[in-house]
């Protein structure tokens, strides 16, 4: 791999008056987490006790329309904003305070394979169980998240839930690779002479017995006032990528020299350069993330229902579990991995190299990320959020009325779209086209990472064909009538 260029941040979010001090403040993250925790409690309450008709329940509307829409816009404007305020990590912090954490995550699981499997399983379960249509199932998932996060973080010393398990976090990590901000440091010379490396080790504090308590790898104990180091074990001066960064800002709080910044960058810089490890699991994750953007949208259009019915007939099964597993297995696993390996092999053959397929794949797979994100953005941000976000008004008024609070007035169930519905198709197409152009730019830039000489157009052709094919397939899917989901009326 060629030598990495150091990030040159032009703007630091942590220096914004008011916001910067709040984010750096020891309790800053907890303030954001508490707000999200209260929202989560409200969703749990309405999901368990409220109307079990999805378009009238806060849990389904907020989870499947607002949460997904807001996070994709968040990636575009700032970065991994959900992980930053993730309420699931509050019990994690409690678990660490109870000091019952200890062991290291097993080495054979220190990769993305489990997260890839869970991400695939989540997309399958979303369709099979119609999660978008069930307030009860939606809140059981939220509850399961709290429990899983607590136990994993209690048992293991690092943030294993965030780094190796959480499917939402995995989705967020890949999405944030196109974000305009990244954790880095202001002055690398300060880091060179820094002895404590508190950004990763946490702070050294005085315990209640007066003994210094060394905080390592995010470990804390009850008798100390501590500041955590990076839970996902990233070392601020070496960070080149948003992969694995939860934007928790623990590093910024822990650094005694205030040297950590959340700096602006070219959103295509990370994918254009050799910022990612050349690992099979990372490359396969990006392929699955990319093709799942299409598979997820495909699950909501007419042809998939016909395909499911045909497969059920051929397999002689009544339940849609197996047909759906086969369809998603092909669209979200077999196709991406097969096409990715084929493109890597073709590109390597055309270039006449003898390098491993892993290296060939890792060289060009990051070029998929901008297009993949644009398809998710068009789907979650464009179609669902802009097409349905105003539905929160009648749903919330209805919730209040159910609890004898009528001062907000009657719900108007015709409220749903934020923009006129007929604007959505052109908007989605424009977003995807911009994503394609960004991916082609990244592909071209990555030609410079070739070990001997710059790769020409012919070497990159297999990847160009994948990008264009994905774009055409997404146009086809997005122009088909799609289930709006989560609203009873679309204005």
Tell me which residues touch ligand SF4 (CB under 6 A). Answer: 183, 185, 190-191, 194, 197-199, 230, 232, 234, 236-237, 239, 245-251, 255, 257, 259-260
Report in angstroms how near the CB of residue 104 gets to ligand SF4 at its nearest: 18
| Nearer to ligand SF4 among residue 127 and residue 270 (C-beta) | 270
Total residue count of the chain as it appears in this document: 491
Instruction: Determine the Cα angle at 457 with ends 268 and 350, to 5°.
Output: 120
Start-to-end CA span in the chain (Å): 52
| Alpha carbon distance 481, 463 (integer Å) | 29
Report in angstroms how near the CB of residue 239 gets to ligand SF4 at its nearest: 6
Helix segments in 352-456, DSSP class H: 357-364, 368-376, 387-388, 392-402, 421-446
Instruction: Determine the Cα angle at 385 with ends 379 and 389, to 5°.
Output: 160
| Nearer to ligand SF4 among residue 251 and residue 378 (C-beta) | 251
| Nearer to ligand SF4 among residue 196 and residue 207 (C-beta) | 196
Report in angstroms how near the CB of residue 292 gets to ligand SF4 at its nearest: 24
| Nearer to ligand SF4 among residue 97 and residue 257 (C-beta) | 257
Buried b (16+ CB within 10 A) or exposed e, 218-242: bbbeeebebbbbbbbebebbebbbb
Report in angstroms how near the CB of residue 18 gets to ligand SF4 at its nearest: 20
The first and second tokens of residue 382, run together, are 């464009």
Report in angstroms how near the CB of residue 115 gets to ligand SF4 at its nearest: 16
Report in angstroms how near the CB of residue 246 gets to ligand SF4 at its nearest: 4
Report in angstroms how near the CB of residue 27 gets to ligand SF4 at its nearest: 16
Report in angstroms how near the CB of residue 220 gets to ligand SF4 at its nearest: 14
Report in angstroms how near the CB of residue 180 gets to ligand SF4 at its nearest: 15
| Alpha carbon distance 129, 133 (integer Å) | 8
| Nearer to ligand SF4 among residue 249 and residue 470 (C-beta) | 249
Report in angstroms how near the CB of residue 169 gets to ligand SF4 at its nearest: 10
Neighbouring residues of 170: CB distance < 8 A, sequence distance ≥ 6: 112, 115, 116, 118, 119, 285
| Nearer to ligand SF4 among residue 239 and residue 293 (C-beta) | 239
| Nearer to ligand SF4 among residue 248 and residue 416 (C-beta) | 248
User: If DSSP codes are grouped into helix, strand and coil, which group holds residue 8?
Assistant: coil
CA dist 478 → 68, 301, 338, 387 (Å): 18, 9, 24, 13
User: If DSSP codes are grouped into helix, strand and coil, which group holds residue 17?
Assistant: coil
CA dist 436 → 307, 324, 373, 375, 464 (Å): 28, 28, 10, 10, 10
* Alpha-carbon torsion (366, 367, 368, 371), positive or negative: positive
- Other C-beta atoms lying within 10 Å of the C-beta of residue 426: 10
Residue 297 C-alpha from the chain's centroid: 17
């Amino acid at each position: 791999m060629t030598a990495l260029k150091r990030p040159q941040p032009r703007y630091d979010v942590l220096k914004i008056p008011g916001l910067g001090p709040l984010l750096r403040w020891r309790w800053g993250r907890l303030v954001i987490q508490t707000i999200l925790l209260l929202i989560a409690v409200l969703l749990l309450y309405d999901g368990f006790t409220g109307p079990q008709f999805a378009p009238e329940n806060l849990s389904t509307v907020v989870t499947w329309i607002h949460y997904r829409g807001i996070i994709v816009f968040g990636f575009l404007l700032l970065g991994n904003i959900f992980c930053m305020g993730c309420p699931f990590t509050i019990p994690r912090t409690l678990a660490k305070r109870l000091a019952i954490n200890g062991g290291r995550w097993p080495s054979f699981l220190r990769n993305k394979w489990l997260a890839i499997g869970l991400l695939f399983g989540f997309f399958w379960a979303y369709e099979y169980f119609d999660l978008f249509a069930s307030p009860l199932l939606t809140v059981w998932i939220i509850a399961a998240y709290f429990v899983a996060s607590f136990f994993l973080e209690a048992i293991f010393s690092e943030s294993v839930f965030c780094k190796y398990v959480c499917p939402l976090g995995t989705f967020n990590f890949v999405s944030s690779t196109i974000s305009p901000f990244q954790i880095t440091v202001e002055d690398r010379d300060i880091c060179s002479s820094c002895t404590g490396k508190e950004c990763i080790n946490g702070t050294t504090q005085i315990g209640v017995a007066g003994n210094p308590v060394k905080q390592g790898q995010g470990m804390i104990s009850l008798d100390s006032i501590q500041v955590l180091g990076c839970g996902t074990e990233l070392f601020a001066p070496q960070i080149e990528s948003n992969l694995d960064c939860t934007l928790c800002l623990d590093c910024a709080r822990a650094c005694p020299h205030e040297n950590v910044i959340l700096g602006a960058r070219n959103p295509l810089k990370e994918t254009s350069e050799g910022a990612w490890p050349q690992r099979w699991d990372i490359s396969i994750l990006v392929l699955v993330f990319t093709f799942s953007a299409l598979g997820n949208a495909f699950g909501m259009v007419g042809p998939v229902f016909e395909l499911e019915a045909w497969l059920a007939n051929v397999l002689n099964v009544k339940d849609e579990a197996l047909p759906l597993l086969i369809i998603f297995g092909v669209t979200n696993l077999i196709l991406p991995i097969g096409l990715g390996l084929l493109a890597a092999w073709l590109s390597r053959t055309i270039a006449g190299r003898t390098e491993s397929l892993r290296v060939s794949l890792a060289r060009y797979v990051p070029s998929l990320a901008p297009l993949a994100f644009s398809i998710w953005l068009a789907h979650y941000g464009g179609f669902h959020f802009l097409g349905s976000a105003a539905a929160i008004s009648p749903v919330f008024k209805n919730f209040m009325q159910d609890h004898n609070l009528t001062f907000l007035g009657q719900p108007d169930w015709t409220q749903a779209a934020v923009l006129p519905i007929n604007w959505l198709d052109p908007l989605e197409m424009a977003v995807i086209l911009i994503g394609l152009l960004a991916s082609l730019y990244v592909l071209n830039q990555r030609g410079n990472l070739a070990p001997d000489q710059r790769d020409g157009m012919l070497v990159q052709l297999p990847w160009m064909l994948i990008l264009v094919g994905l774009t055409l397939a997404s146009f086809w899917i997005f122009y088909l009538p799609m289930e709006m989901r989560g609203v009873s009326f679309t204005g």
